[in-house]
Structure formats: structure tokens, C-alpha cells
């Protein structure tokens, strides 16, 4: 009975719609001064405003507005000269006011687009995703369900509420319907979310961590028979918490819809929840009656009417679009596709770039970050950006190696020391007494000592058998505890034995 | 001493003729003596008030520079949060709640050294015109204990008329400061919207609510106005501009050359004859004081009441959603197996009174999909028309005037089963809230037919609040000359207490 | 004449989360016939050419800087809670969609 994806595609055309919620990384909440730090003790970041105590009033965080405008500009949107907050009324215990301050018919950014490129059977192809709106709203609190087996809401005896997250600024980015992606719908959706994530990161407006929920995607999918204009009934899948899940959820929904339609059943317009383990979606509890959100303009806030000068200042300061930026770096650095992909996958492109900007050679910067430092991050099981080593540190180390003041081996020790918190490279070198022995006098003493210990080998070299030099160089290196520059040792040794 | 004006009390305090502790204790004694009959207070903060008074006395003794009203007691409408002091809004749903924060008005009162005696009774969540909708029982009008003291701020007005406090804070959404002032023979001012912070004012209708001063004289109201007004960054709708010079205006009372516009539509049919008599008399006195009386027309005012009873319920249906038994306040029906939803439903059934439920349901309807444009949307358009009427009229005059209410105080219970009749009380006060401008009510005498106080309303353009005080002070002075003594000295009830 | 049936009122009461007895529903339904007639007058003058006023002040762009200010202590935050556990508000089981 189960249809294959190809069977679905032979008969139906998918239409997508994507809603992405992004938590902004402001210091304080959207409508009050409470901190937004993730993971604080429960209800320590709450106040009369975000607890909706009687009498409390919201005030708008200017940085959140600025971030939203930046997002709109980066997504090629028009910034509305006049926009308003509205109340979206519905009761839910994790929402203290029992209305969410959101935007309704007057959002701050409208009509933009994002181009994403994916690999198709005919080679790379660009798909344009049109953006309908970008608007501001606030997050809800978090509930912990107690009793029942799973910690899930169903079967719980009661719930415990923590409002630390309530009121954290959210930006919702809504696409127009996306037709015409054909069988590439899942890949296009994934590429779109990935592109959004990169753009948001480059703007510095959000942590964009899908696993922590600072970027969340709701995927709307509907199918229609190929050649038919009318849209099919859509389902809205929530809880899609990774890029891979975006792809899986859409593919799964397309197959589920097709199976229903083939059986002559109808698709129910509903909210579904993505199950990470199975890759399937589960129906949300269907509401007995449709909600009526009774939107109306938020009377406690005044309209947002950004002036043109502000918008233009923000526009002028926009960073290069990540996909374009990547292409430019790749050309400038002369990096092959595979290496570029490796850096992107390892999430080190930005730090490598920062290291290069500090004067390091791109190849060397890349190899330190992708090699030794990535290895340490893996061993410690932390994100590479969380290690206590900065692009400046790495650039300094690269410079020392290039100058011959550090060997690769010593450089690894310095890196280890910096990550261990012993200070910057100079401090680590000083504290650990690391230095390349490039005092020729000391080296010559070691060379003479080694030659005296291994006279036969020395004699071979003197007779022109140069490959034998390796053994003596190794011995000298050992004698100097690895702090000598091997090239200089070789030079001095060969000179000493009449081969210079 | 309790019969003095707040300004006179302040003078005696600064002259060292009395102390704030003594003055506060006298008022607490008065409350103990008469409030069983009046029921102006929901909570009397004996200890807190005396501690605050002692603090002011100590500061005065230490030679600190104090604000003009420092040490003078005040009654606070129970719709304002005061840290650690019960705040119920006249509702069961908030019984026992102790706010962990001060409203900005309360912060300003404390900063000015004004002693807060306690919290006054009100219609539940400020919805009403008689204080009969309080979940804790009605307040009685000190002029006649069988009558209503107006509403929603009946407690604050009655406390003034009963000499339980010389000053009070009210809030005015459709007349809740001015109408109680009118029917109790006191002064009440609704400042320009945004003139006084709403932070900590438990919202009924956010775009209409405005806190303001209640007092027995125009000057006292002005002194209190200056103490509580000013920009507040915690209220996004607070006006960032200097406070109008209301005290100077109240001291001057010079109306020579001012044009006073009589609103044609707020008079005549439906207005009690004694109300009209007193209104005409006041106009004559103002003319005699040098003002020019002109007639102005506001044709859309007749739609104000209808628009108000859509906008206010709509906003309140959303504002009162937070009373859901989850984080504070009453919780009903939390038995084994109950759901959050059923607990919300049961708590809100039991916790809210009839009028509050009626307005929540009406507002829910007016905002609902398919009806929004016909009701809420149309009401907002009426709001535009009313504002235009004011703008047009203010081209012809400096202030507009009318009787504050169509009638004098009615009997408790007389209108409680007829919402529409009750709503008509606010017909003359509502346009001011719709346009966000300032309005004042001050006593214009007693209606000959029933011997009850009548209010005279003065309306001024936004942020021109000082004009109300000029006209109010002029009229007050002229009436005082005519009467020979303040109106409240004629109050028949509570004599001998 | 606009009117609201008992069932209309029941639906509104559900949206507003207020339990209501049958008697209350019927009473309100009757009252609304009168009240809605009175308030529907706004439609007489609300022409398409009239702009709505949602707020009495012409203010724009009122913002606060992105600065953290001290929160309440958890004790203060929870001081009014009808029930609490582990510094969280304890509420009855939540029926409805998983967030």
C-alpha cells in the first residue's frame, strides 16, 4: 500500500509554505527588561510585565525592532512605513496574558524573496522563495508535564510553568506559497531554511540554534493533481527541529497526503507534530471548534513607523549575503569545492575567515582549524566556537610557525595550552618555556655531540651519502627536546660534515 | 482639622502647627467612625499610613525640602497596585492578592510624601456608574446613604465627601472620576490621556483609562495633579512633555476673555431640571467673571455611548483574560483530574460579577471574526468623528462645558437591573475619553428638587489641562461667594459623627 | 434587529473561558438583543471614508533601549501563585495541543 516517492511525484505536485520562528538574541525581552539568557533557574527572569500581573504594561525593545528590520532588508522585503502590534487572543497557560502581542494585518516587513540553489538532475538550479511577511511577536513560557509516563502533555496529572522564556522576542518569517519545486520540494525547503539560518547568523541577530529552539520551522504541505490549478488541503507540521527533519517531514507528509488522496479520502487541515525517531507526523489534538483569535490593535503600544534614514543606515550596514560571501572567499583563497564544503560542514568558515583577516595564510588557517583544533573540540565534545581559542590566537601561532619560531609540533603544544586556559600564545610559550632552539652555538654543540656518538653515520655523510643525515638530525632534535628548527639543524649538520 | 482643604493642611504641616502622624491619625479615626455607614474603603492601611506619616515628620524635622503635599493623607482607588497592600479592583477574582510592585502613580505619591490611607471601593474592574458592582458591597453617598456615590470610583469620591480623606486617586474610562465627583459634590479631574502613567493601573480599557486627582477643591486637585503627572518610560502611551501648569492656573482663576463653548447636544432632554438650573447659573457666573459664553455643536456625540460600549468591552475582554487562576488570584475547581481549562472556566464564572461577564461577552462578540468591522471597526470610526467634533468646536472656544451627568444621585438598586439606563449616566462624560482630552467636574450646587449635588463639566483640548483649572477655579470662587461656605458644609448625612 | 441565540452566547462564553449556567446564557441572550440594538447605532455614521481611531494619541516609535533591568525574585514572582512546586507555577493538567 505504501507509495514510493516516485509514485507520488508521478501524479501530484506539492505546494509548500514555510513559517520560521526565530528567537532574537537581544539582551532583554521584547516588552520588558528581563534577561533572555538561556537555561537560568525557573522564574528568575520574570517581572510584572512578562508574568502579566495586573496593571503591568509592555514597552518595545528597540534592538528587536532594529533586528527585525535588518532581517526584512536581508530578505529583500519592503519595510512598512507604518506598522502596528496586535493582540492575538487565546487562552493557554504558558501565555500569561492569554493573548500574544504579535502583528496581524500591519506587519513590519512584506514582500521579499530568497534565492536558494540546489543540485538537480540537470545540474545546479536556483529556486526563488517569495517571502510574504516578516513580523514581530513574543515567545511563550515553558511547561513541564508531571505524572504520566512520558513527560508529555497527554496523561500528565499537572504541569509546572516557568515563564523565563515568556516574552523573548520572536520574529516570524512567512513565505508565500511555493509551487513549482516538483520532486525537489523537500530539498528546496531544507536549502531555504539553511539559507535563512546562514543569513540570520551573518546578521548577528539570533543564535539560530535549531536544537535549542531558537530557530523553529513549521512546514505547510499540500498536494494537487499535476495540471490542476486549485490548491489542495494543507497540513501544518510543527516541531521540525533540524535541517534534516525539514526534508524528512515534507517528504513524509507528501507521501501521507498522496496515500489519503489515492484512497479517495480527504486531507484534514490540521496541525501535526513531527516525530524525530520515526520521521512521521502525528496529528495534534484536533480542536472541537476553530479558534477565533479576535485580533485588534494593541492599545498599550504605539505604532512603529521607522523613518527612511534609519532604514537606509541599516541597509548600508548589511553584511554580504552568506552564499555570495562564500563564493567570494572560495575564489580569493583558491579552495577546492570539497575543502570549502568541509569548512562549512564543520562550521569553521567564519573563524577561518576571521583568522585570515588577522593576517594568517588561508591554507594554514584552514588546516589548523579543521585539523588539530577540530580534533580537540571533538574529543571534548564541544562546539569549536566554544573552545577558548580565538582567531587572533591562531593567526599568531601561524605567524610564529612561518617565522620559524615554532615548529608544528610546538605549535600544537601552544594550542593545547591556550585551550587549557593558560593565556594567549605568547603567555603559553613563556609559561611553558617553549621555544625553538635557533641558537647556532647550542645547535652546533648538539651536532658535535651526536657526531661523536655516531661516528660511522657521520662518516657516511661526509662521504656524500646524504640520506643518512636523517638519523643524525633526529638525534639532534631529541637532544634539543624538539625545540630546534629541523631545517636549520640539517643545514648546520651538512656544513659541519663538509656537504654544505 | 479634617474639614480643611489639602492645601490648608499642607500649610499647617509646614508651619509646624500639626504633624502628619496627627493628621493621618485623625483621618484614620474618622474612617473608623463613619466608614461602616459609607463603606468607601476596602482596606485601611493603619500601620502603613502611620509609618509613612512618621517618616515624613522625621524628614521635616530634619529640615529636608519636602513636596507641597508632603504629609497630607490620600485615599487610593483599589485599581492601583501598591506593593504588599491588597489590591482587588472590587473583584472576588483578586481577593487576597498582594502586588509585588508599585504603580507609577503610587511611586509618585510616595516620592511626594503623600500618605496613603488605604484602598477605596469601586465597581468591579471599574465597570459601572454606581459602585454597586463591587464584589464587596456598595458604597453609600454621604449626602444620602440610600443613594449611590457614582462609579466606578464611588469609594474615592465618598471618602472625600465624608471627610475620610482630603485627597483621592480615581481612574476615568468613561466618567469614573467625574460622575462620582458630580454626585458627591466633590472635584474630579480626568487629565489628558497619557498625562498620568497607567503603569500599575489595572486595565479596564487601555485606550480610554486615565488616572487623575479627586479632591474637595480645584486647587487641591491641581496640587495632586502635578504630584502624579509626568512622563513614564514604563507606559508607552505616556506623553513625553512638561506637565501643564495646573497649579498656577488653579491659583489664578482668571477667565477674562476666555471663550466657553456650551455643547448644544449635552443639555436639554433627558437632563433633570435641577441639573439644568445649576448649569445655567454657573454659565451666568462665568460670564460675570469675564468669560464669553458661546454655543458649539458636536453632532456625533450622540453616537459616543454606543461606540464606548463596544470599544471598552472589546478591550476589557482581552485585558481581563489574564485572570485565569494560573499565576495569582482566585482558583476554583482544582480537584483531582480537573483540567486547566475547566479551572479557568469555573474560576472566571465565580470570580467575575454579572456586569464584568456581560461586558467580556459583549467584547468577545464585537471582536469576533465576521463582526469586527460592523462593531469594533465602526466604533473606532465613531471615535474619529467625535475627535473631529472636538477639534471643530475648539476652533470656536477655549474650553467646552456641559452638566457632568444628566441626573443627581439615584437610589441604590434603582437601576441595577437595567444596564442601558445605567449606561446613560455616562452620556456626557464619555466623549472626553473617546478623544483622549481632559475633563473636570466640580460642584455647581444642589438641585432644588432633591437637594443633591450637581456637577459642572469642563472639557479642554489635549495637554491644555490648565484651562480646566482656570475655569474651574473661577467658577468655584464665584459659587463660594454666592454660597458663603463650601457646598460640603451643607452635607446632611453623617452629622454628629 | 440583531440578536444572539443562547448557543451564540455559549460559544462566546467558551471563547472567553467563562462557565455559564443555562439560565445565565438565556438571560444574556435576552439582554444582548437590547444592548446590540443600542450599540449597532455606530454603523449609521461609520462610512467607508472615515478612518478608524484605535488610539487617542498620535504617538509613534516609542521604544526602550535593550538593557537588562533586575527581575522579580522567584519568591516575589510566585508570591501570588495558587499552587507552586520547584519554583514553578503549578497548574492543573493542560488539555490541548502540545506546544
Which three cell numbers mark B204? 479596564
- A487/A385 same-domain check: no
- What confidence score (pLDDT) does residue A463 get? 87
Beta-carbon separation of A284 and C98 below 8 A: yes
Q: Which residues of B touch A58 (CB under 8 A)?
A: 236
Pairing, β B259-263 against β B399-403: parallel
- A247/A375 same-domain check: no
- Asked about B152 being catalytic, the answer comes back as yes
- Least Cα distance to A432 among A453, A411, A446, A449 occurs for A411
- What confidence score (pLDDT) does residue B287 get? 98
Helix, strand and coil content of chain C, in percent to the nearest 5, comes to 35, 10, 55
Name the closest residue on chain C to residue B421, using Cα atoms.
C35
In a domain? residue A315: no
- Helix (H/G/I), strand (E/B), else coil: B177: coil
Chain A: closest CA distance from residue B479 (Å) = 39
Among candidate residues B130, B134, B156, B176, the one labeled active-site is B176
- Helix (H/G/I), strand (E/B), else coil: C69: coil
Say yes or no: A140 contacts chain C, CB-CB below 8 A.
yes
Rounded CA-CA distance A38/A22 in Å is 14
Among candidate residues B152, B156, B197, B205, the one labeled active-site is B152
- A356/A449 same-domain check: no
Q: Which residues of B touch A53 (CB under 8 A)?
A: 81, 99-101, 327-328
In a domain? residue A344: yes
* Strand positions, DSSP E, chain C: 63-64, 84-85, 88-92
Beta-carbon separation of A297 and C55 below 8 A: yes
Q: Which residues of C touch B319 (CB under 8 A)?
A: none
Q: Are B69 and B10 within 8 A, CB to CB?
A: yes
- Least Cα distance to B434 among B462, B464, B406 occurs for B462
Say yes or no: A99 contacts chain B, CB-CB below 8 A.
yes
Q: Are B349 and C22 within 8 A, CB to CB?
A: no
Say yes or no: A70 contacts chain B, CB-CB below 8 A.
no
Chain B: closest CA distance from residue C24 (Å) = 9
Beta-carbon separation of C95 and B362 below 8 A: no
Rounded CA-CA distance A98/B327 in Å is 12
Rounded CA-CA distance A240/A20 in Å is 10
Long-range pairs, A185-188, Cβ under 8 A, ≥24:
A185/A14, A185/A16, A185/A221, A185/A250, A185/A254, A186/A246, A186/A247, A186/A248, A186/A250, A186/A251, A186/A254, A187/A118, A187/A247, A188/A16, A188/A116, A188/A118, A188/A127, A188/A129
Among A21, A25, A43, A59, the residue to mutate for chain C (most C Cβ within 10 A):
A43
- Asked about B297 being catalytic, the answer comes back as no
Q: Where are the alpha helices (DSSP H) in A208-348?
A: 243-262, 308-316, 322-333, 337-345
For chain A, the C-alpha Rg in angstroms (whole number) is: 30
In a domain? residue A136: yes
- A186/A110 same-domain check: yes
Q: What is the CATH number of the domain that holds A486?
A: 1.10.10
Among A34, A50, A57, A145, the residue to mutate for chain B (most B Cβ within 10 A):
A57
- Least Cα distance to C33 among C2, C7, C9, C10 occurs for C2
Q: Which residues of B touch C18 (CB under 8 A)?
A: 345, 348-349, 352, 357, 360-361
Q: Which residues of B touch C52 (CB under 8 A)?
A: 377, 380-381, 383-384
Any idea which residue has 432633591 for its cell? B450
Chains in contact with B, where contact means 3 or more Cβ–Cβ distances below 8 Å, are: A, C
- A234/A383 same-domain check: no
Q: How many CB pairs under 8 A join A and B?
A: 101
Say yes or no: A382 contacts chain C, CB-CB below 8 A.
no
Beta-carbon separation of B322 and A301 below 8 A: no
- Helix (H/G/I), strand (E/B), else coil: A175: strand
Torsion (CA) A348, A351, A357, A358 in degrees, nearest 10: -130
Q: Are A484 and A435 within 8 A, CB to CB?
A: no
Option in A44, A46, A159 nearest C94 (CB): A159
Chain A: closest CA distance from residue C47 (Å) = 20
Total domains in chain A come to: 3
- What confidence score (pLDDT) does residue A279 get? 84
In a domain? residue A293: yes
Rounded CA-CA distance B196/A103 in Å is 27
Q: Which residue segment(s) compose the domain that A417 sits in?
A: 320-432
Residue B181 vs residues B116, B385, C3: alpha-carbon distances, Å: 20, 28, 36
Mean pLDDT calculated for residue range C30-59:
91
Chain A: closest CA distance from residue C24 (Å) = 22
- A93/A180 same-domain check: yes
Name the closest residue on chain A to residue C17, using Cα atoms.
A91
Chain C: closest CA distance from residue B341 (Å) = 7
- A33/A172 same-domain check: yes
- What confidence score (pLDDT) does residue C98 get? 46
Option in B234, B324, B364 nearest A57 (CB): B234
Q: Which residues of A touch C86 (CB under 8 A)?
A: 42, 160
Any idea which residue has 511563550 for its cell? A140
- A13/A132 same-domain check: yes
Chain A: closest CA distance from residue B370 (Å) = 10
Option in A48, A53, A296 nearest B367 (CB): A296
Q: Are B171 and B126 within 8 A, CB to CB?
A: yes
- A267/A387 same-domain check: no
- Asked about B77 being catalytic, the answer comes back as yes
| β-pair partners for A79 | A109
Confidence of residue C99 (pLDDT cuts 50, 70, 90): very low
- What confidence score (pLDDT) does residue A236 get? 93
- Helix (H/G/I), strand (E/B), else coil: A126: strand
Beta-carbon separation of C66 and A94 below 8 A: no
- Burial of A120-143, coded b for 16+ CB within 10 Å and e otherwise, reads eeeeeeebebebbbbbbbbbbbbb
Name the closest residue on chain B to residue C77, using Cα atoms.
B100
| β-pair partners for A18 | A219
Q: Are B87 and B80 within 8 A, CB to CB?
A: yes
Q: Which residues of B touch C34 (CB under 8 A)?
A: 419-420
Residue C66 DSSP one-character state: S
Option in A26, A44, A152 nearest C74 (CB): A44
Cis omega before residue B152 (within 30°)? yes
| β-pair partners for A399 | none
- A294/A382 same-domain check: no
Within 13 Å, how many C-alpha atoms sit on residue A459's CB side? 5
CA A68-A74-A77 angle, to 5 degrees, is 75
Among candidate residues B77, B92, B119, B415, the one labeled active-site is B77
Which three cell numbers mark B322? 489574564
Q: Exposed, middle or buried: residue A330 (CB in 10 Å: 0-12, 13-18, 19+)?
A: middle
The domain B6-301+383-490 is placed in CATH, from the list 3.90.1300.10, 3.90.1150.10, 3.40.630.10, 3.10.310.30, at 3.90.1300.10
Digits of tens for pLDDT over chain A (500 positions)? 578 999 999 999 999 999 999 999 999 999 999 999 998 999 999 999 999 999 999 999 999 999 999 999 999 999 999 999 999 999 999 999 999 999 999 999 999 999 999 989 998 899 999 999 999 999 999 999 888 765 666 677 899 999 999 999 999 999 999 999 999 999 999 999 999 999 999 999 999 988 888 999 999 999 999 999 999 999 999 878 899 999 999 999 999 999 999 999 999 988 899 988 888 888 875 554 567 999 999 999 999 999 999 999 999 999 988 888 888 999 999 888 888 888 887 778 888 999 999 989 999 999 899 889 989 988 988 888 788 899 999 999 999 888 878 888 889 999 999 999 899 998 999 888 887 766 777 788 888 888 888 888 888 888 888 888 888 888 888 888 777 888 888 888 888 888 86
- What confidence score (pLDDT) does residue A150 get? 58
Say yes or no: B87 contacts chain A, CB-CB below 8 A.
yes
Q: Which residues of A touch B97 (CB under 8 A)?
A: 54
- A358/A335 same-domain check: yes
Q: Name residues of chain B where pLDDT drops below 50.
A: none
- What confidence score (pLDDT) does residue C1 get? 58
Say yes or no: C10 contacts chain A, CB-CB below 8 A.
no
- What confidence score (pLDDT) does residue A341 get? 82
Phi, psi of B121 (to 5 degrees): -70, 155
Q: Which residues of C touch A153 (CB under 8 A)?
A: 94, 96, 98
Q: Which residues of A touch C11 (CB under 8 A)?
A: 289
Rounded CA-CA distance C52/B462 in Å is 19
- A423/A485 same-domain check: no
Chain C: closest CA distance from residue B138 (Å) = 23
Rounded CA-CA distance A292/A294 in Å is 6
Amino acid at each position: 500500500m505504501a507509495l514510493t516517492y516516485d509514485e507520488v511525484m508521478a501524479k501530484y505536485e506539492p505546494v509548500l509554505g514555510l513559517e520560521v520562528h526565530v528567537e532574537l538574541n537581544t539582551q532583554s525581552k521584547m516588552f520588558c527588561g528581563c534577561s533572555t539568557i538561556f537555561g537560568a533557574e525557573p522564574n528568575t527572569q520574570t517581572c510584572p510585565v512578562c508574568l502579566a500581573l495586573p496593571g503591568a504594561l509592555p514597552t518595545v525593545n528597540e534592538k528587536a525592532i532594529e533586528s527585525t528590520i535588518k532581517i526584512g532588508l536581508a530578505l529583500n522585503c519592503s519595510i512598512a512605513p507604518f506598522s502596528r502590534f496586535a493582540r492575538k487572543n487565546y487562552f493557554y497557560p504558558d501565555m500569561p496574558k492569554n493573548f500574544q502581542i504579535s502583528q496581524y494585518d500591519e506587519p513590519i516587513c512584506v514582500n521579499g524573496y530568497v534565492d536558494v540553489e540546489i543540485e538537480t538532475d540537470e545540474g545546479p538550479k536556483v529556486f526563488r522563495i517569495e517571502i510574504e511577511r516578516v513580523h514581530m511577536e513574543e515567545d511563550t513560557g515553558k511547561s513541564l508535564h508531571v505524572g504520566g509516563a512520558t513527560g508529555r502533555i497527554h496523561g500528565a496529572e499537572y504541569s509546572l510553568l516557568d515563564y523565563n522564556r515568556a516574552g523573548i522576542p520572536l520574529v516570524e518569517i512567512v513565505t508565500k506559497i511555493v509551487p513549482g519545486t516538483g520532486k525537489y520540494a523537500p530539498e528546496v525547503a531544507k536549502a531555504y531554511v539553511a539559507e535563512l539560518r546562514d543569513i540570520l547568523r551573518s546578521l548577528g541577530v539570533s543564535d539560530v540554534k535549531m536544537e535549542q529552539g531558537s530557530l523553529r520551522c513549521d512546514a505547510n504541505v499540500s498536494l494537487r493533481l499535476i495540471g490542476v490549478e486549485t490548491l489542495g488541503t494543507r497540513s501544518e507540521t510543527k516541531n521540525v527541529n533540524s535541517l534534516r527533519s525539514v526534508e524528512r517531514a515534507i517528504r513524509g507528509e507528501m507521501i501521507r497526503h498522496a496515500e489519503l488522496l489515492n484512497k479517495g479520502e480527504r486531507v484534514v487541515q490540521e496541525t501535526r507534530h513531527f516525530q524525530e525517531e520515526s520521521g512521521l507526523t502525528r496529528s495534534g489534538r484536533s480542536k472541537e471548534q476553530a479558534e477565533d483569535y479576535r485580533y485588534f490593535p494593541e492599545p498599550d503600544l504605539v505604532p512603529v513607523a521607522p523613518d527612511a534614514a534609519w532604514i537606509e543606515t541599516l541597509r548600508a550596514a548589511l553584511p554580504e549575503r552568506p552564499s555570495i560571501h562564500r563564493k567570494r572567499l572560495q575564489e580569493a583563497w583558491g579552495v577546492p569545492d570539497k575543502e570549502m564544503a568541509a569548512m562549512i560542514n564543520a562550521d569553521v568558515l567564519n573563524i577561518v575567515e576571521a583568522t585570515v583577516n588577522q593576517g594568517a595564510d588561508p591554507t594554514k588557517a584552514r588546516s589548523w582549524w579543521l585539523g588539530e583544533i577540530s580534533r580537540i573540540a571533538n574529543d571534548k565534545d564541544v562546539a569549536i566556537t566554544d573552545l577558548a581559542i580565538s582567531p587572533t590566537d591562531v593567526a599568531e601561532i601561524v605567524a610564529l610557525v612561518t617565522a620559524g619560531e615554532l615548529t608544528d609540533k610546538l605549535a600544537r603544544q601552544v594550542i593545547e595550552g591556550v585551550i587549557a586556559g593558560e593565556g594567549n600564545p605568547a603567555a603559553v610559550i613563556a609559561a611553558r618555556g617553549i621555544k625553538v632552539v635557533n641558537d647556532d652555538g647550542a645547535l652546533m654543540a648538539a651536532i658535535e655531540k651526536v657526531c661523536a656518538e655516531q661516528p660511522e653515520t657521520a662518516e657516511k655523510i661526509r662521504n656524500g651519502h646524504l640520506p643518512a643525515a636523517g638519523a643524525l638530525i633526529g638525534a639532534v632534535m631529541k637532544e634539543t627536546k624538539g625545540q630546534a628548527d629541523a631545517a636549520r639543524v640539517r643545514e648546520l649538520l651538512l656544513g659541519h660534515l663538509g656537504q654544505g | 482639622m479634617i474639614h480643611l482643604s489639602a492645601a490648608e493642611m499642607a500649610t499647617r504641616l509646614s508651619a509646624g502647627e500639626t504633624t502628619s502622624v496627627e493628621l493621618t491619625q485623625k483621618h484614620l479615626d474618622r474612617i473608623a467612625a463613619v466608614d461602616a455607614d459609607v463603606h468607601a474603603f476596602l482596606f485601611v492601611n493603619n500601620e502603613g499610613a502611620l509609618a509613612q506619616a512618621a517618616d515624613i515628620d522625621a524628614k521635616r524635622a530634619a529640615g529636608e525640602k519636602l513636596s507641597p503635599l508632603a504629609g497630607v493623607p490620600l485615599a487610593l482607588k483599589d485599581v492601583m497596585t501598591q506593593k504588599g497592600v491588597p489590591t482587588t479592583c472590587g473583584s472576588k477574582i483578586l481577593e487576597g492578592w498582594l502586588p509585588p510592585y508599585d504603580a507609577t502613580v503610587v511611586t509618585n505619591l510616595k516620592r511626594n510624601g503623600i500618605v496613603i490611607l488605604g484602598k477605596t471601593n469601586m465597581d468591579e474592574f471599574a465597570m459601572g456608574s454606581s459602585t454597586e458592582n463591587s464584589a464587596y458591597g456598595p458604597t453609600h453617598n454621604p449626602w444620602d446613604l440610600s443613594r449611590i456615590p457614582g462609579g466606578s470610583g464611588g469609594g474615592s469620591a465618598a471618602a472625600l465627601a465624608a471627610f475620610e480623606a482630603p485627597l483621592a486617586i480615581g481612574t476615568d474610562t468613561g466618567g469614573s472620576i467625574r460622575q462620582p465627583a458630580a454626585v458627591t459634590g466633590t472635584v474630579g479631574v480626568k487629565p489628558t490621556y497619557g498625562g498620568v502613567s497607567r503603569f500599575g493601573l489595572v486595565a479596564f480599557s487601555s485606550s480610554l483609562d486615565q488616572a487623575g486627582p479627586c479632591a474637595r477643591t480645584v486647587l487641591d486637585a491641581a496640587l495632586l495633579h502635578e504630584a502624579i503627572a509626568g512622563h513614564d518610560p514604563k507606559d508607552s502611551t505616556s506623553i513625553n512633555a512638561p506637565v501643564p501648569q495646573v497649579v498656577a492656573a488653579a491659583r489664578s482663576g482668571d477667565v477674562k476673555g476666555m471663550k466657553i463653548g456650551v455643547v448644544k447636544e449635552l443639555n436639554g432632554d433627558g437632563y433633570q431640571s435641577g441639573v439644568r438650573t445649576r448649569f445655567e447659573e454657573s454659565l451666568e457666573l462665568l460670564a460675570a467673571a469675564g468669560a464669553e459664553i458661546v454655543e458649539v455643536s458636536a453632532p456625533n456625540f450622540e453616537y459616543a455611548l454606543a461606540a464606548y460600549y463596544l470599544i471598552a468591552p472589546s478591550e476589557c475582554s482581552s485585558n481581563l483574560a489574564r485572570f485565569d487562576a494560573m499565576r495569582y488570584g482566585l482558583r476554583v475547581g482544582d480537584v483531582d483530574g480537573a483540567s486547566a481549562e475547566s479551572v479557568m472556566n469555573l474560576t472566571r464564572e465565580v470570580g467575575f460579577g454579572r456586569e464584568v461577564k456581560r461586558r467580556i461577552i459583549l467584547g468577545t462578540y464585537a471582536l469576533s471574526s465576521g463582526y469586527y468591522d460592523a462593531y469594533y471597526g465602526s466604533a473606532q470610526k465613531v471615535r474619529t468623528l467625535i475627535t473631529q467634533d472636538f477639534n471643530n468646536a475648539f476652533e470656536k472656544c477655549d474650553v467646552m462645558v456641559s452638566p457632568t451627568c444628566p441626573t443627581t444621585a439615584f437610589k441604590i438598586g434603582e437601576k441595577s437591573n437595567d444596564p442601558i439606563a445605567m449606561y446613560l449616566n455616562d452620556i456626557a462624560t464619555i466623549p472626553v475619553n473617546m478623544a483622549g482630552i481632559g475633563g473636570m467636574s466640580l460642584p455647581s450646587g444642589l438641585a432644588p428638587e432633591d437637594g443633591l449635588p450637581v456637577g459642572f463639566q469642563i472639557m479642554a483640548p489635549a495637554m491644555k489641562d490648565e484651562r480646566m483649572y482656570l475655569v474651574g477655579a473661577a467658577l468655584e470662587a464665584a459659587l463660594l461667594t454666592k454660597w458663603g461656605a463650601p457646598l460640603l458644609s451643607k452635607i446632611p448625612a453623617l452629622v454628629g459623627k | 434587529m440583531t440578536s444572539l441565540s443562547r448557543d451564540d452566547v455559549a460559544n462566546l462564553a467558551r471563547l472567553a473561558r467563562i462557565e455559564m449556567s443555562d439560565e445565565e446564557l438565556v438571560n444574556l441572550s435576552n439582554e444582548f438583543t437590547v444592548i446590540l440594538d443600542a450599540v449597532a447605532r455606530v454603523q449609521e455614521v461609520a462610512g467607508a471614508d472615515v478612518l478608524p481611531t484605535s488610539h487617542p494619541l498620535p504617538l509613534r516609535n516609542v521604544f526602550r533601549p535593550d538593557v537588562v533591568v533586575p527581575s522579580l525574585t522567584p519568591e516575589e514572582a510566585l508570591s501570588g501563585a495558587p499552587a507552586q512546586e520547584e519554583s514553578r507555577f503549578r497548574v492543573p493538567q493542560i488539555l490541548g495541543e502540545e506546544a
